[in-house]
């Protein structure tokens, strides 16, 4: 099977030439385009998630030999979550080669975090099946390298920190509300407000997931109350 020019270029960005190009094509095929003769990438996504998790867990252990399980777990979660996988996917232009059905094409599927993150995990699995664990591991460490080094900072959870602060003051958990929503369905713009029991409010806006905007709002509140990590 001969790959198209855009997939050959993607291989170069990925840093792996496939002995079995069909694996790469399957990894890039979303369910909206699948058929009886064209399998989608969901099974590969399942495997890739495990290969990624093992690789990152091992790298974190090596990077900080004194860290406890309680310190390592949030770092791992920050590095393997869908948003991070989507960021890596954008870094290597994965969205440009995703194979999508018309419905996903029309709603901006190439830019969606969920689709990009899932496809990134599927590509990891494709490399693993094509060449084995060591090449897959080397690719992950190369693509995630800077993020692994900054894992401790990435693991900070502003929502958790704000909730713990509020509880320490005898307050109920902070309340998050969507104050405004605009833009197209495939790339909505949210403004989310967080409110404390004493009436103080802070907000944040963005086009990411609601969870990421809530994190930004929580960080804005931490800045406001002087609890900056």
Instruction: Give exposure, 57-67, as e/b (b: 16+ Cβ within 10 Å).
Output: bebbeeeeeee
Residue whose tokens read 């609601």: 210
| Candidate list 121, 130, 203, 214, residue with the active-site label | 121
Tell me, yes or no, if 49 is annotated catalytic.
yes
Reference 174, options 157, 152, 156; nearest CA is: 157
Q: Is 78 exposed, middle or buried (0-12, 13-18, 19+ CB in 10 A)?
A: buried
DSSP 142-161: HHHHHHHHTHHHHT--HHHH
In which order are the strands placed within the sheet that holds 201-206? 175-182, 189-195, 201-206
| Candidate list 49, 104, 113, 214, residue with the active-site label | 49
DSSP three-state, residue 112:
coil
Question: Residue 227 and residue 229: Cα distance in Å, rounded?
Answer: 6
Question: Residue 165 and residue 27: Cα distance in Å, rounded?
Answer: 43
Known catalytic residues are 49, 121
């Amino acid at each position: 099977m001969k790959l198209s020019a855009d997939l050959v270029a993607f291989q170069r960005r990925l840093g792996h030439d496939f002995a079995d190009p069909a694996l790469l094509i399957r990894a890039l095929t979303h369910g909206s385009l699948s058929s009886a003769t064209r399998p989608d990438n969901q099974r590969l996504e399942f495997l890739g998630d495990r290969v990624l998790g093992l690789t990152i867990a091992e790298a974190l252990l090596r990077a900080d030999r004194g860290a406890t399980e309680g310190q390592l777990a949030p770092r791992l979660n920050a590095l393997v979550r869908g948003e991070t996988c989507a960021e890596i996917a954008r870094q290597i232009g994965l969205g440009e080669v995703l194979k999508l059905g018309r419905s996903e094409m029309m709603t901006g599927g190439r830019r969606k975090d969920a689709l990009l993150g899932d496809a990134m995990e599927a590509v990891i699995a494709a490399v693993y099946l094509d060449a084995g664990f060591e090449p897959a591991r080397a690719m992950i460490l190369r693509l995630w390298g800077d993020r692994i080094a900054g894992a401790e900072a990435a693991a900070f959870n502003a929502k958790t920190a704000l909730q713990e602060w509020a509880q320490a003051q005898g307050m109920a958990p902070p309340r998050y509300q969507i104050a405004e929503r605009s833009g197209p369905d495939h790339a909505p713009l949210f403004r989310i407000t967080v409110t404390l029991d004493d009436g103080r409010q802070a907000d944040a806006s963005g086009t990411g997931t609601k969870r990421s905007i809530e994190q930004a709002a929580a960080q804005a509140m931490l800045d406001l109350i002087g609890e900056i990590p």
